Amino acid sequence: MSIYLFNTLSRRIEEFKSIKKNKVGLYTCGPTVYNHAHIGNLRTYVFEDVLKRSLQYNDFKIKHVMNITDVGHLTDDADTGEDKMEKGSAREGKTAWELAEFYTHEFRLDLERLNIIEPAIWCRATDHIKDQINLIKKLEKKGFTYATSDGVYFDTSKLKDYGKLANLQNQELRAGVRVDVGDKKNTTDFALWKFSPKLQKRQMEWKSPWGVGFPGWHIECSAMATKYLGKTFDIHCGGVDHIPVHHTNEIAQSEAAYDEPLANYWMHGEFLLMGSDKMAKSGDNFVTLRTLTEKEISPLAYRFLLLQTHYRKQLTFSWEALNAAQTGLTHLYNAAKKLKTKKEILSNIDQKKNDEENEIKNKFKEFISDDLNISSALGLVWDAIKNDKISRETLLEFDQIFGLKIKEELEKKPEPISELIIPKEIADLVTKRDEARQNKEWNISDELRLKLEAAGYKVLDTKDGTQLTK
Ligand code: AMP
Ligand code: ZN
């Protein structure tokens, strides 16, 4: 069956055709690791996970690359402002390197909690400075760069189709925009390399042919995507905010350097909103997975909530909707337990039922192949469960896309803590974890959570402290 995806580049739904048969090169822009990911960021990663699972379900083998932005992302997209990492380092009294390591670890834990399949390749911007310098040198040789007092810039006027992803009209952008361009030639020009400030020593800086400094945010993705996936690969993803600046500039640099498209399909997840605002890492509408678990809401309930809205529609967050999703997920788990197994169905020699089930499978595949219409797939599955039309095995097959850990739930025999006999070493870990949480030592408490989980316990954060179930 063909799979159809919305391509931001053409602004229409296209049949997906991979460069290599049954293989997909996928690059998804990763987090800037100066703080926890908020649940808005995580919406984008869940969308990308569902995309990946849907392609896998359609027999594609995926090579997934995700970067870690640990340098160069400034507080202002127009190449001014502070480096988010250096700013975060001052805020938390950690070095920028420690900060990056801590929040990278936290981010990976968040992905695990949301049952997001990890990328095959993680790449840190600071591990690829040489690749970025080489790409800038290539652009310099081809005449696309110029230097100012604070860095080396990409001259966007040299590209005829700059801004095609966002449908930006160059002329409109260059004329009549009241933005302080500083020494830049055009408003849309962007930094490839920034010089370290003269009177201030940065924690993260490197020598380059142009002077000591650090790479711009966009060049890291272009350099690493090409290094791991080739000059042209299949799909590039991110949140919608990346369309007009970050992805537009990635395309500009890469296509100027290699005269080939960077990616054939560009896909973008819509925003999670808090009221009428977008959720942002600064500001008081900052909700993380930790906020949810403190309210005894499981990360998978959040995942379930996200599956109910199409990735190209905005979603306004509310606690009511999240609580309803938690209840809905419990219903789904309970209903799964009541479904008959294939063996039970076949022993009744119910051929009609078997045909019906195959029909549902085909419909399911149709929905997910229609630009990831997961909410309709969920509706279909609910209906099939209610009317006892599918086997347990089929539901588990569908959960390869939903990622709601239904199999784990079926295999689990829950026991309340009062009935559990907890060995002393486990009880000690619980005490240590509660102490760490009281002291807000989240990295220690997360390490201890992993230890408890590795010992076979489910860890619940409640207002009375850590609680365990099996
Ligand atoms: P950052 O860590 O800020 O670089 O962002 C990580 C990812 O989250 C990017 O793909 C952004 O486009 C995406 N993102 C940022 N804010 C939101 C939001 N409110 N809703 C959905 N995705 C978001
Ligand atoms: Zn990127």
Three-class SS of 315-381: EEECHHHHHHHHHHHHHHHHHHHHCCCHHHHHHCCCHHHHHHHHHHHHHHHHHHHECCCHHHHHHHH
Residue 1 included in any domain: no
Residue closest via CA to ligand 1's atom 14 equals 41
β pairing state of 23-28 and 233-239: parallel
Q: Are residues 152 and 236 in the same domain?
A: yes
Quote the mean pLDDT of the chain: 90
Rg of the chain's alpha carbons, rounded to an integer? Answer: 24
CB environment 162-182: b (16+ within 10 A), e (fewer): bbebbebebeebbeeeeeebe
Q: Are residues 305 and 365 in the same domain?
A: yes
Same domain for 44 and 125: yes
Three-state DSSP class for 168?
Answer: coil
Q: How many of the other CB atoms lie within 10 Å of CB of 22?
A: 10
Q: 274 in ligand 1 pocket by Cβ < 6 Å?
A: no
Q: How many domains does the chain have?
A: 3
For ligand 2, the distance from its centroid to the CA atom of residue 17, given in whole angstroms, is: 23
Instruction: Decide: 239 in ligand 1 pocket, CB within 6 A.
Output: yes
- Residue 271 Cα to ligand 1 midpoint, Å, equals 8
Q: Is the CB of 216 under 6 A from ligand 1?
A: no
Residue nearest to atom 23 of ligand 1 (CA): 41
CA distances for 145 relative to 14, 153, 311, angstroms: 35, 5, 37
User: Residue 5: in which H helix or E strand, if any?
Assistant: strand 4-7
Q: Residue 7 falls within a domain, yes or no?
A: no
Q: Measured from the CB, is residue 170 less than 6 Å from ligand 1?
A: no
Residue 179 has pLDDT above 50, yes or no: no
What is the mean predicted confidence (pLDDT) over 64-78? 84
- Report the nearest-CA residue for atom 8 of ligand 1: 41
The answer on 397 and 310 residing in a single domain is yes
Which residues, 6 or more positions from 37, have their beta carbon under 8 angstroms from its beta carbon? 31, 45, 106, 107, 110, 288, 289
Instruction: Give the model's confidence band at 466: pLDDT under 50 very low, under 70 low, under 90 confident, else very high.
Output: confident
Q: Are 228 and 362 part of one and the same domain?
A: no
CA of 183 to the centre of ligand 1 (A): 29
Examine the domain organization and report whether 406 and 422 are in the same domain.
Answer: no
399 and 425 housed in the same domain = no
Same domain, 201 and 229: yes
Which of residues 394, 410, 426 is at a domain's end? 410
* Domain-terminating residue out of 212, 234, 269: 269
CA-based angle 98:103:316, to the nearest 5?
155
Residues 401 and 457 in one domain: no
Residue 464 belongs to domain spanning: 417-469
Single pTM value for the model? 0.86
Say yes or no: CB of residue 43 within 6 Å of ligand 1: yes
Euclidean distance between CA atoms 401 and 117, whole angstroms? 11
Same domain, 258 and 340: no
Ligand with minimal distance to 250 CA: 2
Residue 333 domain flag: yes
Q: Same domain, yes or no, for 57 and 78?
A: yes
Question: How far, in Å, is the centroid of ligand 1 from the Cα of 40?
Answer: 6
pLDDT (average), residues 313-330: 96
Same domain, 133 and 175: yes
Strands 4-7 and 272-274, by their bridges, are unpaired
Is 269 in contact with 279 (CB distance < 8 Å)? no
C-beta of residue 19 within 8 angstroms of C-beta of residue 264: yes
Banded model confidence at residue 282, pLDDT cuts 50, 70, 90: low
Given a cut of 50, whether residue 177 has pLDDT beyond it is: no
Choosing from 44, 104, 309, 317 the residue with most ligand 1 atoms within 8 A of its CB, the one to mutate for a pocket test is: 44
* Position 5 in a domain: no
